[in-house]
Amino acid sequence: MEPAVPASAFGWIATSAWAYPALEALHIAGIGLLVGSLVVLELRLWGLAHEIPVRPLARVALGTTLGGFAVAAASGLLMFASAPGDLLANRAFLLKLALITLAGLNAVWFHARDGLGRLDRRARWQTVVSLGLWAAVIGCGRWIAYV
């Protein structure tokens, strides 16, 4: 999304020839790490590669997930800071934030009930919800530029 007139201390990001595109690239890389590592772990929870122990895989995958989230959040905050008014008025952006919150709550619930240890129907259902929410977050992120 190309903001109209920068109205914040970070407005230079929106007008820079390289800053906003670099932040977008970092944002996409963070999302790739976040979602890609979740897919690997969730495929294991669904029974693929059953010879790989869940907990060691989860340590690697969830560390990567959190790192990807940190990169996506930091770059996203900087992009937001470049045009907060425009984004706060954007329905797709607000929906994206709500979906990220739901994805986070789903993850907290999953780990609070020891979904990795149980590997039950509810844990598997939560992985489907997780991937659905993150897919919707990505869709809303793309939609921001068009609403």
pLDDT digits (tens, 9 = 90+) for 89-125: 999 999 999 999 999 999 999 999 999 999 999 999 9
Is residue 93, in this structure, part of any structural domain at all?
yes
Q: Give φ, ψ of 10 to 5 degrees.
A: -100, 15
- pLDDT tens for 30-74 read 999 999 999 999 999 999 999 999 999 999 999 999 999 999 999
**Domain boundaries, position 93:** 11-146
3 belongs to a structural domain: no
Phi, psi of 17 (to 5 degrees): -70, -20
User: Is residue 6 in a domain?
Assistant: no
Tokens representing 94 are 């607000």
d(CA 39, CA 132): 11
Q: Give, for 31, the enclosing helix (H) or strand (E).
A: helix 19-45
4 inside domain: no
Structural domains in the chain (count): 1
In this predicted structure, what is the pLDDT of residue 6?
A: 47
pLDDT of res. 138: 98
